[in-house]
Structure 1
Amino acid sequence: MSLRVAIMTDEIGWHTRQLQAALRARGAQGRCLDLADCGIDTSRARHGLRLPGFERALPDAVIVRGIAGGSFEQVTQRLGVLHALRELGVPVYNDARAIERTVDKAMTTLLLHAAGLPTPPTWTSESEAVARRTVAREAAAGQALVLKPLFGSQGRGLVRVGQVNGRFEPLPALAGPPYNGLAYLQRWVPPLSEPGFDWRVLVIGGQARAAMQRVSGHWIHNIKQGARPVAAALTPELATLAERASAALGLDYAGVDILPTQRGLTVLEVNGIAAWQGLQRVTGFSIAQALVDDLLERRCAERCAARRA
């Protein structure tokens, strides 16, 4: 009987089709499932979960491709389902603990810093007064800061404040979306070239496998914000830094964003639900197949070994 893999996603499209094709190539089945449709039902099955399409059985493995936004309670339950699957012995790729570390930019930064990895100076505060003092202090030293939503992605909601292009840019109001009363401020790293770029390095199973430059005339380098992917050599320095960042956050796979600075490389962000469509355009192997192979050959093998033990 073929393995049945749940692909947790709130959006069916190119990435899920790639994963399903890669699973079929390995003789496995991939079924898309929205975590918003899952929950607890202790009356139905011994394991106590409601997983549409899986009846009373658990999936053999789970790939997390996307988690829809929602209220605090809704997101807590969705992550709770992933936590429960892990506790029930199902390999979850990446699991809820890892996703929580990377979705929360502040926790990502803190863990990178604790691991001794280079990352820009960062501040958080729920107090607008404290945040404004931080911006003023940095501006007095000639620095710009980037205000980011704590849970944002794809470059949305990023604003430069402080000393920007020779003028002072104040902190906007934090109440309501996208900041929701919290300032996450990170010192802006100016580009070393025009146009500017960063590197996105893909780490799978602890090993850096591919890299690209995301080149843009804008200071935001996300592909969704108009940056173009350019093939890049995966140098030992890039690979080592990306692998260490992924390990610091306990990830099965990761998209690690790295910036060049005058002092060397610095890790900007780590994505635990990384998209790879742009990277695939400049990469010579199937990224989806590499992800599926690592899941089946490493994580599922670990589960079988644990059962035998």
Structure 2
Amino acid sequence: MSDDGLRIGIATDATGWHTGRLRRALRERGASARCFDLADCRIDTTSGPHGIVLPGFGQTLPDAVFVRGIAGGTFEQVTLRLGILHALRELGVPVYNDARAIERSVDKSMTSFLLHRHGVPTPATWAAESAAFAQRVLMREAAAGRRVVIKPLFGSQGKGLRRLGANPGRGARAGTLTPLPPLGGDYRRVAYLQRYVEGAKPGFDWRVLVIGGRALAAMRRVGGRRWIHNFAQGASCEPAELDDALAQSAIAAARALGLDYAGVDLIPNPDDAARPLVLEVNGVAAWRGLQSVTPFDIAGALADDLLSRRMGLPALPGNAAAIAALR
């Protein structure tokens, strides 16, 4: 640790509500926090003893780094930014979540593979560079009366999602086939397809927050843009009971990807109510919507887990007691 007190770096490409909450929570726990953009960091083997430079830390290193956001960019730019996080871990700096876990969660195909490998219920998924293969999947699913969703391999907040297959119901579009779109643009020449699970109306999904291997809060996201229930797409947030089925599925998903904290998106499983389906796992999860329906301070819970579980320091009693009272 540094001589002038505990210093935490917050890696983010945009400061605002989330970083403000984190900085306040860390300050209340005796730590100072400084935001920096991974795009402004560099590897420099001539500078200082460590070989990397982080803005605001001079020739020293932070005592830990909380990853709040990584800006998009070229493959090379993102590789370098993740390389900085890998380097920090090699230097013994706790990184929350670390680069390997983020790489697993940001790649939807790897997320699906790991969920399947660890026995976490998730819809059937296909990922390939072949448009011909994707078309065969679409036709086979349509012949069985099912639809699929195509998603960008990298993406969030419900952007780029399209529902494909036979249109159900009545009207002019009933029975027509929504075809596979060209794989350029958002899809970057990759088809990531997930079986669409027909649900009750109005539709909803769950977002469960997992911190340090514990499911701490849940909400239902209702409505939004058509069938996409992201908060960023206009869905409303409602408190949800965090029952054992939701909690255990979310915990298993976060564990499968090796995440310190995660926002896990789930939907009801029409075949087994006791095993909800995990759609996605967010390793750089926002929590503003969830905080609006959660009684305890989420930023405080994140700070407690970083400081106590990852760094071996005592947690602040107040927030820990509030969380314990919910379980």
TM over 0.5: yes
| 1:71 aligned residue | 74
Correspondences of 1:40-79 after superposition (within 5 Å)? 40-79=43-82
Q: Paired residue for 2:214?
A: 207
Residue of structure 1 equivalent to 2:197: 189
- Corresponding residue for 1:307? none
Mean Cα deviation higher: 130-139 or 59-68: 130-139
For 1:146, give the aligned amino acid: V
Per-residue deviation, 1:261: 2.4
> Which structure 2 residues correspond to residues 15-54 of structure 1 after superposition, within 5 A?
15-54=18-57
User: TM-score scaled to structure 1, two decimals?
Assistant: 0.95
Please list every run of at least 4 consecutive aligned residues from structure 1 whose deviation after the TM superposition is greater than 3 angstroms: none
Aligned residue in 1 for 2:234 = 226
Could you give the per-residue CA deviations for residues 72-131 of structure 1, whole angstroms, max 9, x where no partner exists? 000000000000001110000000000000000000000000001110000011011111
1:243 corresponds, among 247, 251, 259, to 251
For residue 288 of structure 1, what is the aligned residue in structure 2? 299
**Which of 162, 170, 184 does residue 179 from structure 2 map onto?**
170
3-state SS, counterpart of residue 15 of structure 1:
helix
Where does residue 135 of structure 1 map in the other structure?
Answer: 138
Residue from 284, 309, 325 that aligns with 1:273: 284
The equivalent position to 1:261 in structure 2, one of 261, 265, 269, is 269
Q: Secondary structure at the match of 1:301?
A: coil
1:306 corresponding residue in structure 2: none
How far off its partner does 1:167 sit? 2.2
- Give the CA deviation at 1:50: 1.3
Quick one: which of 175, 188, 191 aligns to 1:180?
Answer: 188
The letter for the 2-side match of 1:104 is D
Structure 2 residue matching 1:261: 3-state secondary structure? coil
Structure 1, 83-92 or 156-165: larger mean CA deviation: 156-165
Residue 108 of structure 1 aligns to a residue whose secondary structure is helix
1:252 corresponds, among 231, 254, 260, to 260
Deviates more, 1:213-222 or 1:17-26: 213-222
Aligned residues: 300
Q: Which range moves more in the overlay, 112-121 or 257-266?
A: 257-266
Equivalences for 1:84-163 in 2 at 5 Å?
84-163=87-166
For residue 187 of structure 2, what is the amino acid of its counterpart?
A: Y
Task: Give TM-score scaled by structure 2 length.
Answer: 0.90
> For 1:150-184, what per-residue CA distance to the aligned partner results, in whole angstroms no more than 9, with x for missing partners?
00100000001112333210000002x21000000
Alignment RMSD, CA only? 1.0
- The unaligned stretches of length 5 or more in structure 2 are 169-174, 314-327
* Secondary structure of residue in 1 paired with 2:222: strand
Q: Distance in 2 between matches of 1:66 and 1:21?
A: 18
Letter in 2 for 1:38: C
Distance 1:246 1:28 in 2: 27
Partners of 2:114 and 2:167 lie apart in 1 by 29
